[in-house]
Structure 1
Amino acid sequence: MPCPLIANADVIRVTRLDACGRPVCGEDNGFVFDCFATLGMNANVDEGEDVEYRAANGRQCGFKRGCPTFNGYDLELSFFSVSPEFIEITTGNPPVFGFDGVTPIGYDDCSIRCNTGFALELWAEVIGEDVCDNENAQGAWIYFLLPWVTNGQLGDLEIGSEAVSLTLNGATRAGGRWGTGPYDVMPLDTAGTAGPMLTPLGSNCHRRTFVTSIAPPEPVCEYTPVLGDMCLAS
């Protein structure tokens, strides 16, 4: 297997989930964009309690290291595009519509909604001499999937003479019902046929990462549909 090097982040897609972590099918449940600076995925780990046995004379008789518990990843996404669609999917805050009652032109900042959720996918470009050895490859990307993110909320906002960026915070959960996903994100054969993941994540997993030769979706500044085979089967 090659040893790919990550060059830079490329595209992010978010997908609306229901309260059980299932993708919500329909026309207005996805969003794809590339106007972001960084995505921080910071491990949240409880170190556990060490157990120490110490005699009255001060000598240590025994010691057992506490077992760490992985609680998931705390996310911090720095982005530039003030899209009502993206903010509605990730935070649950309602959009503000224009005169036609259909086109979102803004959003409201309301209370934090902990019963909403979204999935986040990120594609990062790969460099290396052998990343496109397969003539059917569309390119090469490292693909990250965070199948269940909750507690989405916008961070501090400061507007002045400098370029303005926004921050989205959230936290991953294990479990969920993403399954193999509603999208074609990996090749299924040597011909490069695009398809969904071959296996779902385990019930205690928070993230999946792999190299793919299937190109990421094109960024657009509007809702994108969730219409994969998973939706047809539901």
Structure 2
Amino acid sequence: MAATSTCVVPIKGTHMRIVELDVCGIPVTGASGMVVVNDSFVQIVRSPQYEEGTEFFERNAAGAPCVNQKDDPTLKRFNLTVQLCSINVSATAFVISARELVTGTPTTGTGFAVAEGQPTNRYSLEVWQEVAGQGACDADGNQRYIYNAFPNVGATMLGDYTIELGRSILEFTSETRAAAASWAALVGADWLPAGETVETDEHYVYNVTTTPPPTAACDPTTLAA
């Protein structure tokens, strides 16, 4: 157990980053991969999914309980609901396993077409938050951030999309899987404590860091090997 701890108050959401993964959850590096940083999301909801533990209850012949025990629940995955007010065509097309519509030279994504069938694409999702109050900076005056990471995400489904006299929000839901062994070194290392990694049975990472989030941009970038 750590000798001291860090207490902070998370507030707001500043940046989210999507990194393309292969079917095994391994980050795709180089020109064939994609990284997109967005600061125009409305909310991201993390919903843990548990399997209830088996309950054992039996009464004796006199009606009194003789067995009363319940196994602990098991965390299966997290469900993520993401709402976007600014739609990045390239990132959205990949996340929802749609076909990106492109034009021109250099190639520019202008839209996407959604076909029937199962979603196959996988990605990692990182979300940065501010820290409120007196804990906003560390003892050396460095600004703190909350780093939330979901190293392996997929099974993405589109949500409702309303066209009306008002803003239109694009919503999708995804499910997590356990991280690939290489994810932390390739993607999350700058926002984890030195020497720490992400284990292959872990679905979610939360860390207080002074490393700022990456800069938001519309154009996708790539991940270095």
Decide: shared fold, TM above 0.5. Answer: yes
Structure 2 residue ranges without an equivalent (≥5): none
Aligned to 1:181: 186
Partner of residue 47, structure 2: 42
Distance 1:63 1:113, change over 3 A: same
Change beyond 3 A, Cα 1:41–1:85: same
**Count of paired positions:** 219
1:158 is matched with 162
Instruction: Give distance in 2, aligned partners of 1:77 and 1:217.
Output: 19
Map residues 1-234 of structure 1 onto 2, 5 A cutoff.
Answer: 1-27=5-31, 28-100=33-105, 102-135=107-140, 137=142, 139-177=143-181, 178-182=183-187, 185-186=190-191, 198-227=195-224, 231=225
Do 1:54 and 1:61's aligned partners in 2 also have CA atoms closer than 8 Å? Answer: yes
State percent identity of aligned pairs.
24
Specify whether residues 66 and 114 from structure 1 end up closer, same or farther in structure 2 by C-alpha distance, changes over 3 A only: farther
Note the C-alpha offset of 1:181.
Answer: 3.1
CA apart distance, 1:74: 0.5
More helix as a share of residues: 2
Inter-CA distance 133–82: structure 2 relative to 1 (3 Å threshold): closer
Encode CA deviations 1:41-63: one digit per residue, 9 max, x unaligned: 00100112201122234221111
What does the per-residue CA deviation read over 1:194-233, in whole Å, with 9 as the maximum and x for residues that have no partner? xxx6322122211111111111011111212111xxx1xx
Amino acid at match of 1:23: P
Displacement of 1:89: 2.7
Partner residue of 1:191? none
**How big is the shift at 1:179?**
3.3
Q: Give the Cα separation in 2 of the matches to 1:76 and 1:181.
A: 25
**Structure 1 130/99 Cα, relative in aligned 2: closer, same or farther at 3 Å?**
closer
More deviation in 90-99 or 151-160?
Answer: 90-99
The answer as to whether partners of 1:180 and 1:199 remain within 8 angstroms in 2 is: no
| Whole-Å separation in 2 of the counterparts to 1:15 and 1:110 | 23
C-alpha contact (below 8 Å) 2:18/2:126 kept by paired residues: yes
Query: Equivalent residue of 1:216, what SS?
Result: coil
Question: What is the TM-score of this pair, normalised by structure 1?
Answer: 0.85
Q: Is the 8 A contact 1:83 1:106 kept in 2?
A: no
Distance in 2 between residues matched to 1:33 and 1:186, nearest whole Å: 17
**How many angstroms apart in 1 are the aligned matches of 2:64 and 2:160?**
51
Is 2:18–2:36's contact at 8 Å kept on the other side of the alignment?
yes
Q: Deviations over 1:65-114 (max 9, x none)?
A: 03311111100011111222111231221110124471100001123544
Q: Would the aligned equivalents of 1:180 and 1:198 in 2 still touch at CA under 8 Å? A: no
Shift of 1:127: 1.9
Q: Distance in 1 between matches of 2:174 and 2:41?
A: 16
* Distance change >3 Å, CA 209–CA 62, structure 1 → 2: same
| Partner secondary structure for residue 179 of structure 1 | helix
| Cα distance in 1, alignment partners of residues 188 and 204 from structure 2 | 16
160-169 or 105-114, larger mean C-alpha shift? 105-114
Distance 1:183 1:60 in 2: 51
